Amino acid sequence: MHCALRRPALFLQRRLLAVVQLAPHNNLRAFGGTGEHGRSDGSGEHSDSWSAQKAGLTATLALAGMFGLLAYNTRPDQSKRKATGWPAFGFLPTVSAKTSATAGNRQQYNFIADAVEISAPAVVFIEIRDRQRVDFFTREPVTVSNGSGFIIERDGLILTNAHVVVSKPHTLVTVRLTDGRTFPGQVEHVDPTSDLATVRIRCDNLPTLRLGSSADLRPGEWVVALGSPLALNNTVTAGVVSSTQRASQELGLRGKDINYIQTDAAITFGNSGGPLVNLDGEAIGINSMKVTSGISFAIPIDHAKAFLRKIHETAGTAGGRRLSSGAPSYRRYIGITMLSLTPDILHELQQRNHNFPPTVRGGVLVWKVIQGSPAHSGGLQPGDIITHINGKEINSSGDVYELLAAQEKKLAITIYRGQQPATVHVFPEDTTA
């Protein structure tokens, strides 16, 4: 069998030698060029003879290569043929375009998009409008604030931040779903201590977001923040968990006992109340506040679960909205959300923000101002740093609350806006919200 397979190759090799030996010496010289004088001495007949022989030689060489390849590929030893990728009885190599690897990487490594696909349908946009103020042209109530939330029950129960829905009296809550439908919202329960609230809309069979666990959250873990910053619906930002145990005392937040999740995922004002989700598409936090680029905080979902359990336990006895006890019936209201500048936060701000005023050693950072509020009317803006009020040095948010409790009619507030100092005047209001 092996001899039979080798026989065509031996025959072709002998044939090739015979053809080469038959070629005359003069014609082989002519093959290299036209000779010393630029042309051959022979006649046209001689040239035609050589052309014919050259064509025969070329055809023989081509046939020899083809049959030699056939004999080579039919050898019992297949390792060389497999290495070169040539087929057993073909004369062309196989060609394949490796496009599946690129498509596979896109499907395999787009873990952020996978988490968003699961969780985004349950995220809602919440708009707060003041019924006592109307637009001059449309005669519609003026929007004073907005935020986000997410659906936790199919019959229209939404979880969000308390500061999103409780801004000032006489407000109207409107909820917009991801499919564009809009519903009036009713604020059912509010807990200012945990900064959590629930809103109900009249709609069934809604997509919901699974509640995960924040107890086993690790620093460095990927998270995704969803919401409607600056009223831009369905915005997605991603980052990692910077810390899982940022105590409210470190942030100077009054009356709270929460270890916040710190993340570098961008959380802006409209993101407040939206979910912070893990790569399984589960809510592990509620977006709460942003200090500066790369420093944002979220309420752990385990605190939200305790808040929801408290709602079920006190159903029918809480008497409506407020779950916290001991809250005053009336309070002074200026319409800002603030953050105490502790030494750790000051250090991070100085490292990340080159425009941070170098002379500031403490104070309060304003990170949200309610539209139409006394602070908004007085000229306060998000990002302002309050250092003094009525000549008194401000070291924490508690100092601001003390001045409000003193029933001051007018607040002369010294601020830093960028690196420039300025003074604004705010007239607080009484509110039951």
SS3 call for 50: helix
Active-site residue, 399 included:
no
Known catalytic residue: 272? yes
pLDDT tens per residue, range 225-281: 998 766 566 788 899 999 888 777 666 666 666 889 999 888 876 788 999 999 999
Q: What is the pLDDT of residue 197?
A: 92
183 token code pair: 């519903």
Three-state DSSP at 270 gives: helix
User: Exactly one of 195, 302, 384, 399 is catalytic; which is it?
Assistant: 195
**pLDDT at 383 > cutoff 60:** yes
Name the catalytic one among 119, 145, 248, 272.
Answer: 272
The pLDDT tens digits of the residues spanning 189-210 come to 988 778 899 999 999 999 999 9
The residues, ordered by sequence, that sit 6+ positions from 399 with a Cβ below 8 Å of its Cβ are 364, 389, 392, 393
pLDDT at 32 over 50: no
pLDDT band at 407 (very low <50, low <70, confident <90, very high): confident
Residue 402 has pLDDT above 80, yes or no: yes
Set 148, 163, 167, 248: catalytic member: 163
Same fold, 113-201 and 332-430: no
Residue 27 phi/psi, 5° resolution? -70, -35
The model's confidence at residue 317, banded by pLDDT at 50, 70 and 90, is very low
Burial per residue of 17-56, b for 16 or more beta-carbon CB atoms within 10 angstroms, e otherwise: eebeeeeeeebeebeeeeeeeeebeeeeeeeeebeebeee
**Which of 38-47, 241-250, 261-270, 332-341 is least confident?**
38-47
Report the pLDDT value the prediction gives residue 51, as an integer from 0 to 100: 64
| Phi, psi of 74, deg, nearest 5 | -95, 10
In total, the chain counts a number of residues equal to: 433
pTM higher than 0.85: no
Question: Looking at residue 168, what is its pLDDT?
Answer: 59
Mean pLDDT of the chain: 76
Catalytic status, residue 194: no
Architecture of domain 332-430: Roll (2.30)
Answer for the pair 73, 65: CB distance below 8 angstroms, yes or no.
no
Question: Which run of H or of E encompasses 407?
Answer: none
Task: Supply the Cα-derived Rg of the chain in whole angstroms.
Answer: 39
pLDDT > 90 fraction of the chain, expressed in percent and rounded: 30
In percent, how much of the chain has pLDDT > 70? Answer: 67
Question: What is the pLDDT averaged over residues 138-153?
Answer: 86
User: Between these two residues, 164 and 430, which has the higher pLDDT value?
Assistant: 164
Token pair belonging to 335: 């319409």
Q: Domain 113-201's class?
A: mainly beta
pLDDT at 421 over 50: yes
What pLDDT was estimated at residue 200?
A: 94
**Ranges 31-45, 47-61, 243-257: which has the least confidence:** 31-45
Above 70 in pLDDT, residue 42? no
Provide mean pLDDT across the span 369-381.
84
155 or 52, higher pLDDT: 155
Closest to 121 measured CA to CA, from 268, 277, 298: 277
Of the chain, the end-to-end C-alpha distance in Å amounts to 99
What does the pLDDT read at residue 319?
45
Tell me which of 174-178, 209-213, 294-298 is least confident: 294-298
Show the beta-strand stretches assigned E in 211-360.
222-227, 235-247, 259-263, 275-277, 283-292, 295-300, 331-333, 336-340
DSSP labels, 293-315? TTEEEEEEHHHHHHHHHHHHHTT
Domain 221-306: what homologous superfamily? Trypsin-like serine proteases (2.40.10.10)
pLDDT tens by residue, 65-76: 666 655 555 555
pLDDT for res 40: 44
Q: Where are the domains of the chain?
A: 113-201, 221-306, 332-430
